[in-house]
Structure 1
Amino acid sequence: MLDLFPETENPVEIIPARKLAAQVAAVYVAPSDHFETRAVDELRLGFDGIDGDFHAGATRRSGGREPWYPRGTEMRNERQLSVVAADELAIVAQRMGIAEIKPEWIGANLLIEGLPHLSMLPSGTLLFFRGGVTIKVDAQNGPCRIAGRSVAENAGMADHEAGALLFPKAAKRLRGLVAWVEKPGRITTGEEISVRVPEQWIYRA
């Protein structure tokens, strides 16, 4: 049988899959006309995402994160939900010299606790909520100036433009994740989550 990974040529390290546990600390929804969110008692999710949310939809329009398409190209919406962790937001706030960053300011839908290094969960990670919902991680949520300006304004920073520019640097790899709905239903605050991290490897050609 052909050995696809001979030890003498670029060995590939395979990291086994694993299971983790977490909990929903809070849930949020954005109005249909603005990305900032507000706290609610529950999220109602369909295959298009959160009912009535700013980022709901089976498709979305491409933007600066997709330079390979002309801006505004219709594409699959893999950014239906924004997931963040309080400990990571606290680090970003400290780096920016402000007291706090609330999840609502940056359009978060889910605040999750109990998962170390949330933003580093790999693509394909599955979150199984006790109530029956399953969401799938697409990727890290790259911090942008729009969210940065919201942070600067809500935190009362003297220079909003400077805050908008600082946020992408301070929040790099700490901005949380974007995910999409694999199995719809309802998510409520306090709900337990079973997290399944997939097998991982680094691809080297």
Structure 2
Amino acid sequence: MSDQLSLLPDTFETTPKFKVSGRIEGIFGTSDKDDFRTDPVDFLELTFEGIPGDRHAGFTRLSGGREPWYPRGTQMCNERQVSILSSEELIKIAALMQIEELKPEWIGANFLLSGIPDLTRVPARTRLVFESGLVVRVDGDNLPCRFAGATIAQNYPDREGLDLLFAQKARGLRGLVGYVEKPGVARSGEGVVAHIPEQWIYRRS
């Protein structure tokens, strides 16, 4: 009985839900099946499957190294339809890597946002409500990897080891992945509001 009581909701210290406003600084699509790099566009029309024609589109996807609890190639729900980056965090990554700039399209961005502090750290279940009516639900942060780092390195041929350096320095700054909860059209320059849910820390008992 004591174990059950320890998990009662009133034993958790919670942070109330709140909102944070930001802006779309850039929109990018679509990456093909062989390369996750994206190209700047004026707008994107998203459906329940994500960005039509994009390599990450679809209701489902195949598991990979991020899902060691499944055999590689297991079909699963696609919670990684879109990639969302922060202009402020890209500046930080570039400074940490000691490079002149880090363009969002190099690492597969679909949305580049500004004005939302510590974007990569917003919690799962956050809703990004765009001015147009599009809603993207955040699944979680996007872990940096060597493959993305390799595309950065292609733009700095005189520097060695940038692929590994990106994986080290971009942790906690690499942005978010999410899925379309309500379809719509997003345009560069429009506003976006992050609806941060109530939060708590679930500790080991």
The runs of 5 or more residues in structure 1 that have no matched partner are none
Aligned to 1:177: 176
Aligned to 1:124: 125
CA shift for structure 1 position 11: 4.3
1:86 correspondence with 2:76: no
State the Cα deviation string for residues 29-72 of structure 1 (Å, max 9, x = none).
Answer: 03322200000011110000011112111111111100111111
Aligned to 2:32: 32
The runs of 5 or more residues in structure 2 that have no matched partner are none
Aligned to 2:69: 68
Q: Which residue identity is paired with 2:199?
A: Q
**How many pairs does the alignment contain?**
200
* Cα pair 2:127 2:196 within 8 Å, conserved: yes
Cα distance in 1, alignment partners of residues 23 and 159 from structure 2 = 36
| Identical counterparts, % of pairs | 47
Q: Which residue identity is paired with 1:82?
A: S
Q: What pairs with 1:1-205 in structure 2 (closer than 5 Å)? A: 4=5, 11-33=11-33, 34-159=35-160, 162-204=161-203, 205=205
CA shift for structure 1 position 91: 1.0
TM superposition score normalised by structure 2: 0.92
Q: Which residue identity is paired with 2:68?
A: P
CA shift for structure 1 position 163: 1.1
Give the secondary-structure state (helix, strand or coil) at the position aligned to 1:50: coil
Cα distance in 2, alignment partners of residues 55 and 109 from structure 1 = 11
Cα distance change on mapping 1:123 and 1:158 into 2, 3 Å = same
The Cα RMSD (Å) is 1.9
